[in-house]
Amino acid sequence: GTGILSSQPEENPHWWNANMVFIPYCSSDVWSGASSKSEKNEYAFMGALIIQEVIKELVGKGLSTAKVLLLAGSSAGGTGVLLNVDRVAEQLEEMGYQGIQVRGLADSGWFLDNKQYRRTDCIDTITCAPTEAIRRGIRYWNGVVPERCKLQFKEGEEWNCFFGYKIYPTLRCPVFVVQWLFDEAQLTVDNVHLTGQPVQEGQWLYIQNLGRELRNTLKDVTASFAPACLSHEIITRNHWTDIQVKGTSLPRALHCWDRSLHESNKNGKAPLKGCPIHLIDSCPWPHCNPSCPTIRDQFTGQEMNVIQFLMHMGFDVQKMAQQQGLEPSKLLGMLSSGS
């Protein structure tokens, strides 16, 4: 595989020689379902059960002697990590393997149940507001959410547990959250479409506000990596080593996290010096971080630099420079250098 699934040390400096198992996403239920096919249901949604079966099978293949099990996933798989990490830990404990430390790595699965930019009726999965989509989904899937999260909400309100900032405080296992501040999947469900026409001012403000809201939900997340880029998914991309937040790459931050968990198990020490694990960009708009992945115009496939991208987004350099009290040329220089 690529990124964190690669067995090449250059591409995967920390876990290239780990035992890896890839579970394809075939259950369409954010890894939460427990409903089998029956006369009433023509579809089966069994994501939660698939994970439990895989764990059972792996115990006989060497997992029983593991020190650490890292449950990682991207997009729906990232949300799936949040929903399943504690249950996997409980399953292993019940099977008598208390010695295995279970951890989670959730990539691009930390969604917000915010107000859409334009409200649309729920005709299909794309037009459905995030909360409504999950609400309906849980009924189809017979969705399972962790007990500790479920207890925080009234009966029928279990959909709340699909949103990272609501489930995270209830989790027992350590989880590392990786999230683009301007996630393309989030913008899609919020009805902000960045294709073709320049972005209107209302959309531009909405996008900046989304970044702010997301940043806020991550402030109490101990281990996080949140670059100010417009993208979706990162851990399985081969460029995952190139993205940096405040001079630290994601593999380096994960290595620091690993070490901090190892150290705290030994002697509860303070965080390691020079080895940060809480990394969130503070600049306010998409791609203000110079290490962001290249953007391609969705129509022409051409690569764009930051300035071309901002122009394409209808970003008014004159106006922005005025607001910041800068010469336009100076602002453009700062944008292209990413400062």
Q: Is 107 a catalytic residue?
A: no
Catalytic residue selected from 6, 32, 75, 249: 75
Q: Is 29 a catalytic residue?
A: no
Q: Is 36 a catalytic residue?
A: no
Residue 307 φ/ψ region, left for φ over 0, alpha for ψ in the -120 to 50 degree band, beta for the rest: alpha
| Segment holding 263, helix H or strand E | helix 250-267
Q: Cα(199)–Cα(286) distance, rounded to whole angstroms?
A: 13
3-state DSSP call for residue 215?
helix
Residue 32 φ/ψ region, left for φ over 0, alpha for ψ in the -120 to 50 degree band, beta for the rest: alpha
Catalytic residue selected from 28, 64, 193, 232: 232
Q: Cα(79)–Cα(67) distance, rounded to whole angstroms?
A: 24
Dihedrals phi, psi of 224, to nearest 5 degrees: -150, 155
Tokens read off for 60: 């006989």
Which residue type does 95 have? M
What sign for the dihedral angle of Cα 129, 134, 135, 136?
Answer: positive
**Cα within 13 Å of Cα(55), Cβ side:** 23
β-strand partners of 104: 71, 175
Tokens read off for 61: 């293949």
3-state secondary structure 66-91: CCEEEEEEECHHHHHHHHHHHHHHHH
Tokens read off for 297: 């115009």
Dihedrals phi, psi of 150, to nearest 5 degrees: -55, -40
Catalytic residue selected from 29, 86, 107, 183: 183
Q: Active-site residues: which are they?
A: 75, 183, 232
